[in-house]
Chain A
Amino acid sequence: MNKPASSPSLSPDMARTIYRKAYLINRTDERFRAMLTNGELAVAYYPVRGHEVIAAAAMAALETEDYLVTTYRGLHDALAKGIPSRLLWAEFAGKRTGTCKGKGGPMHITHPETGVMVTTGIVGSGIPIANGLAMSSQIRGENRVAVASFGDGASNIGAFHEALNMASVWKLPVIFLCQNNQYAEHTTLAAGTSVSSIAERAAGYGMPGVSCDGLDPASVYEAMSEAVSRARAGDGPTLLEARTFRLLGHIFGADYSYVPKEDLSAAEERASMAKLRQWISERQVSEAELTQIEQEADAEIEEAVAFALESELPDPDEIRFDIYETEQAA
């Protein structure tokens, strides 16, 4: 099932929401990398350039109560799901005011209030956990859905295959959102994956497999909305592949000269924020509104950066807490 590129059904409201999220993600990623470059922060960071629209449009199709499990490359998902910038920045900086008191760091963001339940650094491991979130919703008769977000490379690990089979057998309200950026570290899709479209793998598990254009907000939003409706209706899981391109190295600072220049520049062109802005402006969103969205996002980021930098580091004694319910001896 291949989604035809975008019908014009996105409402201006939804277009605005998607742009706000995508812009915030794009600017946050850029600001964060700038701080890493000039040494203001020193942490392992997996850039999300090229993934902004997938997260923005997919999460726009969810409610706050819906569950999300994401990965180390998860800044975009976390912001799009609604985690306040300041909490996220403080956690990225390892501060006690962060989402996880500085105990998780960028690779382990959790914020149940916005449904971000797990961020894992183990490729593919979040997929079975999303099943559990969905199973809980199913047993309790809630209307929530769970989303597992992961990469193309993750579709080669056993956890993916076990989880898709189980979700299909149990008709769980879960969406497997594969953000296919064509690379798993240095390995291309062709070199490491037996299919050229991850969505094809759904056939093996008796569930719908849908591939959408991850750089087209309407394509992502519509495909995601359909998957969400299916899950809420009790009709089970969907494997939704959103195709994009990784525009930077796997991890911040890593060499990516192995990515062919032509591919990269073609993708940069398709993923340009100016193009996205133009597209949104064609959906009854005025220039003034766009400017306002941008100014608000810029202000949110600056406020969050200041908060993160000013916040205190955790007290060393904090190590004894949250290992078990009861604190551990020193």
Chain B
Amino acid sequence: MSAEKMSFAQALNAALDDAMADDENVIMLGEDVADEQGGGVFKVSKGLSDKYGTKRVRSTPISEQAIIGAAVGAAITGMRPVAEIMLMNFITVAMDQLVNHAAKLRFMSGGQTNVPLVVRTTTGAGVGFGGQHSDMLEAWFAHVPGIKIATASNPADAYGLMRSAIDDEDPTILIENITHYGMTGPAAKPGYRVPLGKAAIVREGGDVTLITYGRGVGDCLKAAGQLADEGIEAEVIDLRTVSPWDEEAVLSSVAKTKRAVIVHEAVRPFGAGAEISSRIHEELFGELAGPVQRVASYPSPVPFAKPLETAFLYSVADIVHAAQQATEKKV
């Protein structure tokens, strides 16, 4: 890391720029991604079609199945397409291409073809976009063998995950949190990689492990600060890759703290937290000081009106409360 700062959007733009400069097989396609169409709704692809041409940076019709289908076809010839699905809910329109094709072609072809595809998409509650523009759908993809899904909590990781996902020989979905684009942080050095499948311990502590990813990381760090005031030292793990997730990092931390809280923005039922909790119980049941806690959003469509949206999203106070319960040091 250099001392320089970078926003999330700048980090993603730099990662794409560097990847396109390094490998002419890297191409981009999505709605409005080329400069003539604005360089992406969040300006993540700004300047790239001017630099690399509209053959490699292609604005597409509003055709999610055709976007992902074209990306899959190009990928099996050895190109490295980065397809943008503007908002994660629109991925529902392209599920067939992702689930039946991108994820399965390597296996069904007996390894003769593979799909080095990256899908960038953004989403997140809290900005008043309502029911069809805010869902966190990572668990759906975590349930599909053959696909990877990752999300960054800071600009440098966003750069590093993007570079790794583009290098990777298998399809990866990268979720960008819509509230993150303006966030600044230390800039990644050009060429920096965050390995897929590897978590980061972003805060060390011995009393309870907070396991999270994406936006949850900032919230867990805030909660850890409040817990520290009460004498509870929380370890915070940023999974970075939701699937396949870093079991080793999680299990060894929880083996140490004996207590775990899983935090995610996606709704609780059948979310990533259910699988993680289940694995912790399977591996460490006898050693745990208490049951694993989950903090997640309320199972409703993401509401519009502010009080409802607030009722939907978990809060930092919820994390603090869950950690207190886990450590049985209730105030």
Contacts and interface: CB of A to CB of B under 8 A. Distances in A.
Q: Do A and B bind each other?
A: yes
24 contacts: A99-B112, A100-B112, A103-B108, A110-B112, A112-B76, A117-B73, A122-B96, A127-B69, A128-B65, A129-B70, A129-B72, A132-B71, A132-B74, A133-B73, A133-B76, A133-B77, A135-B74, A137-B77, A159-B96, A162-B69, A165-B61, A169-B61, A323-B145, A325-B106
A89 to B, nearest CB: 15
Interface string A143-160: 000100000000000110
A202 to B, nearest CB: 16
A71 to B, nearest CB: 13
Interface string B237-254: 000000010000000000
B108 A110 contact: yes
Given A135-B73, A323-B106, A324-B146, A117 B66 contact: no
B254 to A, nearest CB: 20
Interface in A94-122: 98-104, 108, 110-112, 117-118, 120, 122
A110 B107 CA distance: 11
B35 interface: no
Interface string B250-286: 0000000000000000000000000000000000000
A99 B113 contact: no
B110 A163 contact: no
B69 A159 contact: yes
A166 B106 contact: no
Given A104-B109, A162-B61, A130 B73 contact: yes
B117 to A, nearest CB: 10
A188 B271 CA distance: 43
Contacts of B70: 128-129, 131-132, 135, 166
Contacts of A321: 111
A109 B102 CA distance: 15
A292 to B, nearest CB: 33
A239 B113 CA distance: 27
Interface string A174-205: 00000000000000000000000000000000
B145 to A, nearest CB: 5
A322 B73 contact: no
B109 A128 contact: no
A139 interface: yes
A131 B106 contact: no
B63 interface: yes
A288 to B, nearest CB: 39
A163 B114 contact: no
A125 B170 contact: no
Contact of B63 (A100, A134, A146, A165): A165
Interface string A10-54: 000000000000000000000000000000000000000000000
A281 interface: no
Contacts of A165: 61, 63, 66
A166 B68 CA distance: 12
Residue picked from B74, B146, B170, most chain A C-beta under 10 Å? B74
A125 B100 contact: yes
Interface of A: 67, 69, 98-104, 108, 110-112, 117-118, 120, 122, 125, 127-139, 146, 158-159, 162-163, 165-166, 169-170, 321-325
A128 B68 contact: yes
A162 B65 contact: yes
Contact of A110 (B60, B97, B110, B169): B110
Contact of B66 (A131, A133, A137, A146): A131
Interface of B: 27, 55-56, 58, 60-61, 63-66, 68-79, 81, 96-97, 100-101, 105-114, 145-146, 148, 168-170, 244
B227 to A, nearest CB: 34
Given A118-B105, A132-B71, A324-B170, A158 B65 contact: yes
Given A136-B77, A166-B60, A128 B66 contact: yes
B31 to A, nearest CB: 12
A104 B58 CA distance: 32
A327 to B, nearest CB: 11
A132 B115 CA distance: 12
A126 B316 CA distance: 46
B243 to A, nearest CB: 11
A171 B110 CA distance: 32
Given A103-B107, A104-B109, A324-B244, 12 more contacts: A67-B77, A100-B108, A103-B109, A134-B73, A136-B73, A159-B66, A163-B63, A165-B66, A170-B58, A321-B111, A322-B106, A323-B107
Contacts of B27: 139
A108 B109 contact: yes
B110 A128 contact: no
Contacts of A111: 112
A76 B110 CA distance: 21
A323 B61 contact: no
Contacts of B101: 118, 120, 122, 125, 129
The 5 A-B pairs of least Cβ separation, nearest first, read A132-B73, A128-B69, A101-B110, A100-B110, A110-B109
Contact of A166 (B66, B110, B170): B66
A325 B170 contact: yes
B97 A322 contact: no
A127 B76 CA distance: 15
Contacts of B114: 325
Residue picked from B60, B77, B100, most chain A C-beta under 10 Å? B77
B108 A108 contact: yes
Nearest to A168: B61
Residue picked from B68, B72, B73, most chain A C-beta under 10 Å? B73
A131 B73 contact: yes
Residue picked from B27, B61, B64, most chain A C-beta under 10 Å? B61
Nearest to B170: A324
Contacts of B146: 323-324
A58 to B, nearest CB: 19
A125 B114 CA distance: 17
A201 to B, nearest CB: 15
